[in-house]
Amino acid sequence: MGKYILRRLLMMIPVILGATLLIYFLNFSLPGDPLAGRCGDRPCSPAYEAAFRAEYNLDQPFIVQYVRYLGKLLHGDLGTNFYGKSVAHELAIRYPTTVKLAVIAITFEAVVGVLAGILAGIRKGKFIDNLVIVSTLIFISIPVFVVGGVSQYLFGLKLGWFPVTSGDGSLEQLLLPGLVLGSLSVAYAARLTRTSLVENLRADYVRTAKAKGLSTARTVGIHTLRNSLLPVVTYIGASFGVLMGGAIVTERIFNVNGIGNFIWRSISQRDGVSVVGAVVCLVIVYLVVNLIVDILYGVLDPRISHD
């Protein structure tokens, strides 16, 4: 097990290198000059311009810029953006909000999605099954900015159940954005649970459980569910990794001061250092979450061995 984790951690190194190189290169290739408009209506003085370019290595070729960045990254330094602020600090003040948002969404997904899937699966072909299939289809086919906009208008403005936008990122303010963020994965989780349950209910070991004289509740609740939830756990884990990366659209709609919003603003301001820093951070979080999910899978399914 320890060996497996070590191997997985080592495998992250090339992934992180590749990700930084790609993002750094994309950023480098973007048109526009961070100095444009920096000194108001007048062009900046040549002395300031030269000093600025030297400070951020902008006068160097791409590869030198990248290697110097990487050198700092190895020391855990995510760099300073063009406004003189530490990227690490900028991320640190926003991350708790994004984590809160992701936890709300994932709880919604795990509880409502899985429950709806179980109900639909054991009542296959009945009313509740059709209800789940149709309602999940609606959430899957409507883009998140529509769901977000409509629920903001309906539940925020018209009904007044939730705050319209998020200010300081309290739990109450994040509830509606969290539900909107989770709506798509709730639908997928429900469908996955349903399919997996229906499939497993036909399995031979379920017939054995019946032949043993077990009650239906025990046959489904203990014997079938354990197996049916394996793919669901993987899906929910993976979607948590995605959600931890912040949600650009949802955070924009509800003005949540999280990572997604930060990335969006940094991109539009050509603040490359911030973008690369945030993305590196997200890649690492994503990889770690995935590793945890894979380890968890081995715990849930005795057939998977990590030795």
Binding site for other proteins (CB under 8 A): 203-205, 207-215, 218, 223, 226-227, 300-303
* Per-residue tokens: 106: 């994932």
What is the smallest separation between the CB atom of 172 and other proteins, expressed in angstroms? 40
Instruction: Give the Cα separation of 229 and 189 in Å (integer).
Output: 10
244: helix, coil or strand?
coil
139: helix, coil or strand?
helix
Residue 38 or 210: the one with the smaller Cβ distance to other proteins is 210
What is the smallest separation between the CB atom of 227 and other proteins, expressed in angstroms? 6
**How would you class 123 by CB atoms within 10 Å of its CB: exposed for 0-12, middle for 13-18, buried for 19 or more?**
middle
What is the smallest separation between the CB atom of 114 and other proteins, expressed in angstroms? 17
Instruction: Give the Cα separation of 304 and 94 in Å (integer).
Output: 37
DSSP 261: H
Give Cα 7 to chain centroid, integer Å.
24
Residue 67 or 300: the one with the smaller Cβ distance to other proteins is 300
Residue 29 or 305: the one with the smaller Cβ distance to other proteins is 305
Instruction: Give the Cα separation of 80 and 88 in Å (integer).
Output: 8
What is the smallest separation between the CB atom of 133 and other proteins, expressed in angstroms? 19
What is the smallest separation between the CB atom of 207 and other proteins, expressed in angstroms? 6
Residue 89 or 226: the one with the smaller Cβ distance to other proteins is 226
Residue 74 or 211: the one with the smaller Cβ distance to other proteins is 211
* In the block, residue with structure tokens 């709730």: 186
Residue 125 neighbours by CB distance under 10 Å: 9
